[in-house]
């Protein structure tokens, strides 16, 4: 047993439970508080399951998707995004993106589990789902495809992660490719779960499936930056020149993706203002009930402040990146909430002008819903902190694709190739024109 542990430790960089014991008291307290939160969340969620969700949840017949679905979407969006952004490196061969692959894939899996944990408390009969998804599939249902594809996505990501640990880069690349394809299919299907409900004008249309993919990529870039810079605060040793270069590249991509989402949001607002079915919701964003959510969290914290801070950081001020992406994660959570809840706030009978549907529908998350969401999010938090210690900051001697006769330049962190009879130093000098 011990022999095997040593073996895995060497090959996978797996430091085991011992690494947790060696952690500082503060670190243990952080992990402990996440464990306590997750346990409390699970306990409250199970209580809801026992007494019946309709007694304890704030969702109603009209607003039947609430905070839990928003939190689930936040998790799976981030998971898909981590997969998309990290695939630039370890699937498509963008060198600068390679060093973050292991942490990104690990967190992608963790976010997926967190999301599934949250939706477990939303679906009324989760156990039936396992049976009837298989025995009575409805191939025209987006919900069916979403569940099935996300299941496949998780399997691919786990296999990919195993091969990343094993340093089998051919197979990890293949699995990463399948994971990416299935992940994008699953995620755009999640957009289509909303986008194909033609009775709900705020959701209906091709906008959401497309938006979800770009939004996921933005969340992924943000999450990688956040977890990498936080990992650097935990253990400064994880940062080396290659990692710095990687953070810089991802900062650039994230800045680009935030701009894309700003563009998406602007047109969502402008087109919505002239559409009969959407105006009420759009106006509630601009001046109504959701104005704080929209302006403060979604626009300021989720887009403009991180955009400014990330540009200011120049990709090498890690503390600033940490603050920017941390705020952005909060903003992104509200972005998800602002897709799910406002889409339901206008009653289907509102346009008929009847008394019963004159007012916008209201929803406030209940204590049980908040705690069940915290269950998933705290699990993710705990798994992250435990992972940083147990997997030694996701470092490896060589966890990226270095072709034969190539080597990692100590100067710039890129992969250089040696010509015949050349030493590494000669190659570096040639590459960087140092004579």
Question: Minimum CB separation from another protein for residue 152, in Å?
Answer: 15
What are 383's two structure tokens? 């798994």
Q: Given the complex with another protein, which of 72 and 294 has the nearer CB atom?
A: 72
Task: Return the residue of 11, 47, 54, 362 that touches another protein, per CB under 8 A.
Answer: 54
Q: Given the complex with another protein, which of 196 and 328 has the nearer CB atom?
A: 196
Inter-residue contact 227 to 107 (CB < 8 Å)? yes
**Helix 67-90 vs helix 101-120: crossing angle, to nearest 10:** 160
Inter-residue contact 271 to 261 (CB < 8 Å)? no
Q: Given the complex with another protein, which of 235 and 271 has the nearer CB atom?
A: 271
Cα→Cα distances 273→58, 281, 291, 338, 385, Å: 29, 9, 15, 16, 44
Q: Given the complex with another protein, which of 132 and 304 has the nearer CB atom?
A: 132
Q: Is 423 in the site for another protein (CB under 8 A)?
A: no
Length of the chain: 435
Please report, as residue ranges, which positions from 347 to 376 form the binding site for another protein (by CB under 8 A). Answer: 347-349, 351-357
Q: What distance in Å separates the CA atoms of residue 338 and residue 342, rounded to the nearest whole number?
A: 6
Please report, as residue ranges, which positions from 254 to 313 form the binding site for another protein (by CB under 8 A). Answer: none
Task: Return the residue of 22, 124, 237, 424 that touches another protein, per CB under 8 A.
Answer: 124
Q: Which residues of 271-310 are buried (b: 16+ CB within 10 A; e: fewer)?
A: ebeeeeebebbbbbbeeebbeebbeebbbebbbebbbebb
Q: Is 152 in the site for another protein (CB under 8 A)?
A: no
| Residue (of 167, 169, 160, 159) closest to 93 by Cα position | 169
Task: Return the residue of 172, 325, 344, 373 that touches another protein, per CB under 8 A.
Answer: 344
Q: Given the complex with another protein, which of 235 and 351 has the nearer CB atom?
A: 351
Q: Given the complex with another protein, which of 352 and 434 has the nearer CB atom?
A: 352
Q: Is 32 in the site for another protein (CB under 8 A)?
A: no
Q: Given the complex with another protein, which of 132 and 308 has the nearer CB atom?
A: 132
Task: Return the residue of 22, 32, 137, 304 that touches another protein, per CB under 8 A.
Answer: 137
- Interface size with another protein, residues (CB under 8 A): 41
What are 23's two structure tokens? 């952690």
Q: Given the complex with another protein, which of 140 and 274 has the nearer CB atom?
A: 140
Q: Is 3 in the site for another protein (CB under 8 A)?
A: no
Contacts of 156 (CB under 8 A, 6+ apart): 175, 176, 178, 179, 182, 183
Question: Minimum CB separation from another protein for residue 213, in Å?
Answer: 21
Which stretch, 39-47, 341-349, 366-374, 402-410, contacts another protein (CB under 8 A)? 341-349
- The H or E element spanning position 51 is helix 25-51
C-beta neighbour count of 117 within 10 angstroms: 24
Please report, as residue ranges, which positions from 161 to 220 form the binding site for another protein (by CB under 8 A). Answer: 193, 196-200
With vertex at residue 351, the alpha carbon angle to CA 349 and CA 357, rounded to the nearest 5 degrees, is 45
Binding site for another protein (CB under 8 A): 52-54, 61-62, 64-65, 123-126, 128-129, 132-133, 136-138, 140-144, 147, 193, 196-200, 344, 347-349, 351-357
């Amino acid at each position: 047993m011990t022999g095997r542990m040593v073996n895995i430790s060497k090959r996978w960089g797996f430091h085991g439970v011992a690494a947790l014991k060696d952690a500082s008291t503060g670190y243990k307290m952080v992990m402990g508080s996440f464990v306590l939160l997750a346990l409390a969340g699970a306990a409250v969620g199970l209580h809801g399951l026992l007494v019946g969700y309709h007694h304890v949840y704030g969702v109603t017949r009209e607003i039947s998707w609430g905070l839990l679905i928003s939190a689930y979407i936040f998790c799976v969006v981030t998971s898909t995004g981590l997969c998309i952004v990290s695939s630039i490196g370890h699937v498509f061969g963008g060198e600068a993106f390679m060093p973050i692959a292991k942490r990104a894939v690990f967190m992608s899996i963790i976010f997926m589990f967190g999301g599934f944990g949250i939706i477990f408390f939303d679906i009324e009969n989760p156990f039936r789902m396992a049976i009837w998804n298989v025995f009575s599939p409805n191939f025209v249902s987006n919900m069916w495809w979403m569940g099935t594809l996300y299941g496949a996505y998780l399997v691919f990501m786990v296999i990919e992660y195993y091969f990343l640990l094993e340093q089998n880069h051919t197979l990890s690349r293949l699995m990463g490719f399948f994971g990416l394809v299935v992940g994008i299919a699953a995620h755009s299907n999640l957009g289509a779960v909303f986008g194909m409900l033609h009775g709900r004008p705020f959701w209906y249309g091709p906008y959401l499936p497309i938006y979800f993919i770009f939004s996921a990529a933005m969340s992924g870039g943000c999450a990688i930056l956040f977890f990498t810079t936080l990992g650097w605060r935990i253990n400064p040793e994880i940062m080396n020149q290659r990692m710095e270069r990687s953070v810089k590249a991802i900062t650039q991509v994230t800045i680009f993706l935030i701009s894309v989402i700003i563009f998406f949001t602007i047109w969502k607002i402008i087109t919505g203002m002239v559409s009969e079915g959407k105006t009420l919701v759009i106006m509630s964003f601009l001046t109504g009930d959701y104005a704080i959510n929209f302006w403060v969290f979604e626009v300021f914290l989720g887009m403009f402040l991180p955009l400014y801070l990330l540009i200011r950081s120049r990709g090498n001020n890690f503390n600033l990146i940490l603050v920017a992406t941390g705020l952005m994660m909060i903003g992104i959570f509200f972005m998800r909430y602002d897709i799910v809840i406002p889409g339901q706030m206008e009653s289907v009978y509102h346009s008929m002008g009847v008394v019963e549907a004159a007012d916008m529908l209201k929803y406030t998350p209940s204590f049980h819903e908040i705690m069940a969401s915290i269950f998933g999010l705290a699990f993710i938090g705990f798994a992250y902190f435990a992972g940083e210690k147990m997997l030694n900051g996701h470092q490896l001697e060589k966890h990226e694709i270095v072709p034969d006769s190539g080597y990692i330049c100590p100067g710039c962190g890129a992969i250089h190739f040696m010509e015949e009879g050349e030493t590494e130093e000669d190659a570096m000098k040639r590459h960087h024109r140092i004579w």
